Structure 1
Amino acid sequence: MEGGVNLRNWADLLPDALGLIFSNLSLQETLTIVPRVCKSWNQAVLGPYCWQHINILDWSYRSNPDHIEPMLRLLVTRSGGALREITVSGILSDLTFSFVADHARSLQKLQIPRCNISDSVVEQLSSKLSAVTFMDLSYCCKISGRALSAIGKSCKSLVGFRRNMHPIDVQDRRTQAEEAVAIAATMSKLKHLEMAYNCIDTKSVVEIINKCDELEFLDVRGCWDVKLDQDWLEKRGRKVKVLGPHVVDQFEGHSCSDYSDSDSFYDYESLDDGLWDDDDVDDDEDRVGSRLELRFYEGFNENYVNGWV
């Protein structure tokens, strides 16, 4: 009691309350600063309460690719099987995906854009992801309709699916009609579906709309072979919000506001939180020239990362 005011000792807060508070901090602060404050805070960071929702997307964009999987393994291990969300870019190996799946019995949200996993590992492990309700496999070029079919058959509660592709390499990409068929055949409960810049046609999209009765939102921006008539949707009594195929985005000099926060294109300035090393960007010209592919791995100083991972 001080001045008639009862001052609460933060060290006495329950671990789950501390985990909720620490979730608002940056990854670096949580791993390096918080544990040094007191014993109870250190125990909270080591335990599962801070890591039920692992969202290291921004960090993974800026990190050396070699550091992403060790970091993910560390945090998944600390979660103690209590995972609800994993959001990270750049998983490079089937082994790491297998490790995540082995700890995914409570996982509800899995966002792993730009991963390098294969159809075979997804088919083998999709049954372990049965609790997932939202999944993001955007820009994952090694998987196909086989993987999507396995996911749809195993994840019966899936209501949100994101499978956006990169707009620049669309000319050289194979058709993704089999992916659309897999989605229509196995993901009938979808309410939210993003397929921007997919190589699909009108027939594929109509099949999805016909089979996914609960669909409320469909993103087909950049799917240039898709021709949807809004009157057709209204005559069928379907209230599906459709975006695309025509879109003005950042590649044409404008920002695209329709993208969700977890799938937007970032400028270097918006990513800079003091963790950039000046030597990683040579000059202003390189900085501007790189804006077409901002979501690849840029700029984290290796020695700095090794100092706190």
Structure 2
Amino acid sequence: MAPSNVNRDWTELPAVITASILSRLGDIESLTVAEMVCKTWREICKDPMLWRTIDFMNNHTSFMFGPPLCYDIVKMCRRAIHRSSGSFVYINVDYFCDNELLKYITNSSAGFIRHLSLFNCGIINDAVLCQAASRLRVLEELDISMCKFSSMAIQIVGLCCPRLKSFKFNNRNGRRSSRQYYRNEDAVAISATMHGLLLLEIRSNELTYNGLAKILDCCPQLEILDLRECKNLKLMSRDLETRCVERIKKLWFPIDPSDPSSISDLNLVGKPCHN
């Protein structure tokens, strides 16, 4: 029996096992720490398969927002995308993505992106989002909550992304329509183009009963619906409420509390890693 106090050399692990371990690190650690350990780890960190998932919000909020800000997140994101050789399928660039980075993401992709999260990236404009959507034909999950996109942009996204199954557009501090008397613009755009949705989050949206009914009519596969803080739906008719309860498996009404722990997520794509 080998002595229990024998020192083990981690560099002697099979490459596939090391890759599986490193794939579970956050992107910041992979780019700033792991690749500095040794030549073997550095070579593995350059493997495109390690970068099928790009997620700078994976347990690193303190790195990005806590003082001091010691990383250039945009630059690091571009490095991660470059290392993927266009093979990434899951990318989360919440808070820091701008127009140029979104263009770089879609122009660098080989067309495999299935999950894109742009939460609170209010600097991105309609034109760039629509241009990006035209290159996201297999996209299944999109989060543009807290952004300022128009209903026309939403409609173009729906037309360009026919496989979309999860759409999040929560508007707590987002844009308000200049036509305040017409509040179903988003609902009309969603119902007209996103017929395959399984999950829809539209918290704090200004849609009315007619808009909600239109969504229920045109999205027959909808299973998860979050309507919290949709003020125009607080006095929902009994018929519409019954219809929601009977149709939707997981439902939040406008008066339900906004509990951060109650995340409505399908996790359709998940985060690929080495097995």
Same fold (TM over 0.5): yes
How far 1:35 sits from its partner (Å)? 1.6
Alignment of 1:94 with 2:99, yes or no, is yes
Secondary structure at 2:135 match in 1 = helix
Q: Aligned partner of 1:59: which letter?
A: H
Distance 1:188 1:238, change over 3 A: farther
Q: Aligned partner of 1:13: which letter?
A: P
Distance 1:235 1:184, change over 3 A: closer
Asked if structure 2 preserves the Cα contact closer than 8 Å seen for 1:11 and 1:40, the reply is no
How far 1:32 sits from its partner (Å)? 2.8
> Could you give the per-residue CA deviations for residues 103-136 of structure 1, whole angstroms, max 9, x where no partner exists?
3311111011111211111222312111110110
Distance 1:132 1:55 in 2: 16
Alignment of 1:151 with 2:157, yes or no, is yes
| Residue matched to 2:60 | 59
Alignment of 1:194 with 2:194, yes or no, is no
- State the TM-score, normalized to the length of structure 1: 0.71
Deviates more, 1:179-188 or 1:91-100: 91-100
Distance 1:152 1:201, change over 3 A: same
Q: Is the helix fraction higher in 1 or 2?
A: 1
Distance 1:11 1:135, change over 3 A: farther
Asked if structure 2 preserves the Cα contact closer than 8 Å seen for 1:109 and 1:133, the reply is yes
Alignment of 1:109 with 2:115, yes or no, is yes
Distance 1:261 1:131, change over 3 A: closer
Distance 1:180 1:19, change over 3 A: farther
Q: Aligned partner of 2:140: which letter?
A: T
> Could you give the per-residue CA deviations for residues 240-281 of structure 1, whole angstroms, max 9, x where no partner exists?
1321201323xxxxx44323589xxxxxxxxxxxxxxxxxxx
Distance 1:88 1:29 in 2: 16
How far 1:232 sits from its partner (Å)? 3.9
Stretches of structure 2 that go unaligned for 5 or more consecutive residues are 267-275
Distance 1:51 1:231 in 2: 48
Match of 1:119 among 126, 129, 144: 126
* Corresponding residue pairs, total: 251
Secondary structure at 1:24 match in 2 = coil
Alignment of 1:83 with 2:83, yes or no, is no
How far 1:12 sits from its partner (Å)? 4.7
Asked if structure 2 preserves the Cα contact closer than 8 Å seen for 1:65 and 1:90, the reply is no
Secondary structure at 1:70 match in 2 = helix
How far 1:211 sits from its partner (Å)? 0.3
> Could you give the per-residue CA deviations for residues 208-247 of structure 1, whole angstroms, max 9, x where no partner exists?
1110010011101000101445654656995213212013
Secondary structure at 2:167 match in 1 = strand
Q: Aligned partner of 2:130: which letter?
A: E
Secondary structure at 1:25 match in 2 = coil
Q: Aligned partner of 1:129: which letter?
A: L
Match of 2:257 among 226, 248, 259: 248
Matched ranges for 1:1-309 at <5 A: 2=2, 11-15=12-16, 17-57=17-57, 58-59=59-60, 62-63=64-65, 64=69, 67-104=72-109, 105-115=111-121, 116-141=123-148, 143-166=149-172, 169=173, 173-174=176-177, 175=180, 177-226=184-233, 227-229=235-237, 231-232=239-240, 234=242, 238-240=246-248, 241-249=250-258, 255-260=259-264
Stretches of structure 1 that go unaligned for 5 or more consecutive residues are 250-254, 263-309
Distance 2:47 2:189 in 1: 39
> Could you give the per-residue CA deviations for residues 3-25 of structure 1, whole angstroms, max 9, x where no partner exists?
6x9x896545345x534322322
Alpha-carbon RMSD across the aligned residues, in angstroms, is: 3.1
Instruction: Percent identity, please.
Output: 27
Q: Aligned partner of 1:199: which letter?
A: E
Distance 1:177 1:68 in 2: 37
Distance 1:28 1:68, change over 3 A: closer
